[in-house]
Chain A
């Protein structure tokens, strides 16, 4: 069973993602911001992280940097999911080491397909 960590401060979006990915057989963890996520990852290293960028306290950019610095987290794939949709934002996100970048609003089905492909490969 693949482990998925959703990091987002929008409860409604988190609720939709949790429902959809659980239905696909993911074991879903939830963090409200980067700080919570890193705490969580000390116990469980997820196969996939869906990471929002704009969050209170520790944001998505800071979070990914810390994850990438730690070799223990190397196996975790990362998908950015953000409302920041400019080309420069996407470029920046990918250059920081994310595997995929999804912009909000997004298609749940496409996100799931992409996520499954990522963890299976």
Chain B
């Protein structure tokens, strides 16, 4: 196929993408562009030419280890979801525009962290981009069947690279705020993701079902080839260790590759899109890998062994004369290249401008000029970066393309990128991680990576037969780059990854523990690590002290955002915090807010520099910060404690008060009781004493009168003894010391006994006692005690009913498990106002001090205690007006 045809197709294809991009930019709000599918598909920028061509190559030579780069992301997904959500929310709040920005934010808007991350990313990604160019160039040559051009001017790859650069520059730098979303660009990436998958599936189906009779046919044929065993299984323990390291490596890559960060964080429009991505992205990877192994096998069978297995997908159709199919495969590869190169250079150019160029040099210049010029200048920095990056990649490819396969360049890039992992991941969850430690870790990790991966490679390329790689520097075996410290069973990439990670993590952890970061760093660390309450990430979340004038800050803002945007933003800010817009001095909130505003345009570190140039910040010394933090903590906890204590005290004093009242009441009751008891005892005693005195001095008294006095003495003595018994009884019952002798008894028998006991007295007074239908029911009670209650009620009634017409009636009623017994009489009844007191001991109607008690005054109180001890109730029926009516209710179940 002639060169110019292919070039025309490429230009046509790019124009098409361009048109799609422009359309999507216009429709950025529509459902077609702004949806989770686009987001999930844009993540597939992960599948670069490395996937498209390289995995077939690795499958053909190394078997299933190509899967690791896809298993890593799939395994990472649960964590990815959680971590991404947090990162996205923080990034949106702080207008983070790149990985470097994010890490610099985490370490207190640290300028040098941003720069270090940017450099690492450039070092890692530049060869990676070169790899893409190499793929385009080689596939172009295969398709055109021509020999490779040797000069830049005649090399078609150079022009393709330039076209790509124009494409990125046009789409990626439309606004100066790099944290703004680029819907057009992302939409084209999503479209390309669909195309490359579609084309790859077509060639897979073509190879499996057109060239062969399906998978079993291929398997049958390929298993006949030599060395097949190694391709389908792990050959040994080293290979399986390698497998795990590879998975870990790609696990990191899905977070840390600048292009992944760009699509998954910066270009994310809604965290809800993560949900769709969480299943769609793994599914995409799965589909991409379904046919890899079969294409590889098919290539092995069909094509000669001197053909580069990376390009089996292309050679397979071409060898059968299917040129159009070949062109389609080429376009699929081109798609994966374009999306990778576009997004990567975009991400890198933002980092270079915001984290390298502006904070180290341009900030002063930008500070002086007007907003329009600044915006243009920033855009130009980015555009130049884009061109430089692509051209740099091109020259890297020209100089290093001899030795490296697609797969190994990709892996080296992964190892370099992985150096950011400790500072990134541990920093997300550990607030102690400090900027210095992050730098130390990244530095040592990079040095080791350089030593164990790049150095031997470079020496091999430039010095023929260098003994460095095989024997170590100056023949020191201990320092052999591929077997550092004697670790000799790992392949170079795994080996480099292992040692760099060990040292990186160690340095990061040790340095973090040894020295805490400054207050700013710790503020931000806290912010990122404890971002659980995302809503609280407000401007006032920072400790800041200093002097700043609103007008100065506003001037700084206008320089980058323009008059209109600045005014609008400040308006919003004032409204949000209800601050008087005419205020002159700025507070910490405005300072932090302004920093946030600028971050999107010039990066976090530059924004901080910018703002601090117009405010006089008085840095806190570490002890001061600690003091503030401690004080805060102490005040809060002291407050809480005080509150708790006062609450406790209040409760305690309340309960004491209640207890005291109860005690006083008890005391009063006891006094009253003793008074009454004393009175009750004194009356018969006085009577006995008086009668005795009279008898002692009454020789002349008639015998009949003497007998009467003597009888009085006997009666009063009896009365005394009854009183004493009752008092003791009541005390025993009310203190619960009385042990009831509960047994099964028949209620009717007990009632009869009570009636029998009082029968004679009743007959004497002419009172009729009627026992109604008392059921023949048995239950458990203390018969003597219950008999005492009945007798008390009967004798009370007997006392109050009139002679001859008196009538007492006992009735029983059973309902379910309850039995109630009523005692009615036609006596004078109980006054309404006394009803609730009659069961109190010594209760005497009206004025208790003066009125004479009826009876001993304790009968009902004792009765109540006894009934309650049987879980029953005793009450007066207030509705009964013809006399008194007492009702006792037993719960037969409970007894």
Contact = CB atoms under 8 A, between A and B. Distances in A.
Q: Which of B683, B708, B715, B851 has the most CB of A within 10 A?
A: B683
B685 A105 contact: yes
B683 A106 contact: no
A103 to B, nearest CB: 8
A80 B684 CA distance: 17
A83 B690 contact: no
B678 interface: yes
B743 interface: no
B687 A13 contact: yes
Interface stretch (A36-44, A54-62, A67-75): A54-62
* Interface residues of chain A: helix, strand, loop or mixed (majority): loop
Contacts of B675: 86
A83 B686 contact: yes
B716 interface: yes
Interface stretch (A14-22, A93-101, A113-121): A14-22
Nearest to A83: B682
A105 B850 contact: no
A65 interface: no
A108 to B, nearest CB: 4
Contacts of A19: 694, 705, 709
Interface string A79-91: 0000111100000
A11 to B, nearest CB: 8
A104 B685 contact: yes
Given A55-B852, A108-B694, A83 B678 contact: yes
B693 interface: yes
B842 to A, nearest CB: 12
A13 B705 CA distance: 14
Contact of B691 (A12, A60, A86, A103): A12
A59 B851 contact: yes
Nearest to A107: B693
Contact of A59 (B682, B716, B850): B850
Contacts of A15: 691, 708-709, 712
A83 B715 CA distance: 19
Contact of B693 (A10, A60, A85, A108): A108
Contacts of A83: 678-679, 682-683, 686
Given A20-B694, A56-B852, A10 B682 contact: no
Contacts, number: 77
A109 B683 contact: no
A interface bracket (residues with beta carbon within 8 Å of B): 20 to 34
A53 interface: yes
A20 B697 CA distance: 10
A16 B710 CA distance: 11
B689 interface: yes
Contact of B683 (A10, A16, A61, A86): A10
Contacts of A53: 850
Contact of B679 (A9, A13, A60, A84): A84
Contact of A85 (B682, B688, B852): B682
B361 to A, nearest CB: 102
Interface in B834-853: 847, 849-852
Nearest to B679: A83
Interface in A16-53: 16-17, 19-20, 53
A49 B709 CA distance: 23
Contacts of B708: 15
Given A9-B852, A12-B716, A61-B850, A17 B683 contact: no
Contacts of A105: 682, 685-686, 688-690
Contact of A10 (B687, B689, B705, B849): B687
Contacts of B716: 12
A55 B679 CA distance: 12
Nearest to B685: A105
A81 B852 CA distance: 15
A73 to B, nearest CB: 21
B849 to A, nearest CB: 8
B682 to A, nearest CB: 4
A53 B694 CA distance: 23
Contacts of A86: 675
Contacts of B686: 10, 13, 83, 104-106
B854 to A, nearest CB: 8
A54 B679 contact: yes
Contacts of B690: 13, 16-17, 20, 105-106, 108
A106 to B, nearest CB: 6
A54 B693 contact: no
Contacts of A9: 852
Contacts of B684: 12
Contacts of B850: 53-55, 59-61
Q: Which of A61, A86, A108, A109 has the most CB of B within 10 A?
A: A108
Nearest to B847: A59
B685 A12 contact: no
Q: Which of A103, A105, A108, A109 has the most CB of B within 10 A?
A: A105
A30 to B, nearest CB: 15
A86 B671 CA distance: 12
B653 to A, nearest CB: 33
A86 B682 CA distance: 13
Contact of A54 (B688, B715, B851): B851
Contacts of B687: 10, 12-13, 16
A3 B708 CA distance: 25
Nearest to A102: B686
B831 to A, nearest CB: 13
A108 B508 CA distance: 108
A16 B684 CA distance: 12
Contacts of A60: 850
B709 A104 contact: no
A25 to B, nearest CB: 15
Contacts of A12: 684, 687, 691, 712, 715-716
A104 B712 contact: no
Contacts of B852: 9, 54-56
A83 to B, nearest CB: 4
Q: Which of A12, A20, A105, A108 has the most CB of B within 10 A?
A: A12
Contacts of A16: 687, 690-691, 693-694, 709, 712
Contacts of B682: 83, 85, 103-105
Nearest to A110: B693
Interface string B160-187: 0000000000000000000000000000
A100 to B, nearest CB: 16
A1 B683 CA distance: 30
B712 A56 contact: no
Nearest to A19: B694
Contacts of A104: 682-683, 685-686
A7 B52 CA distance: 126
The 5 closest A-B pairs by CB, nearest first: A104-B686, A105-B686, A16-B690, A83-B682, A59-B850
Interface of A: 9-10, 12-13, 15-17, 19-20, 53-56, 59-61, 83-86, 103-109
Interface of B: 675, 678-679, 682-691, 693-694, 705, 708-709, 712, 715-716, 847, 849-852
22 contacts: A10-B686, A10-B687, A12-B716, A13-B687, A13-B690, A16-B712, A19-B709, A53-B850, A54-B850, A54-B851, A55-B851, A55-B852, A61-B850, A83-B679, A84-B849, A85-B678, A85-B682, A104-B682, A104-B686, A105-B689, A106-B689, A108-B694
Given A105-B686, A109-B693, 4 more contacts: A13-B687, A59-B851, A61-B850, A86-B675
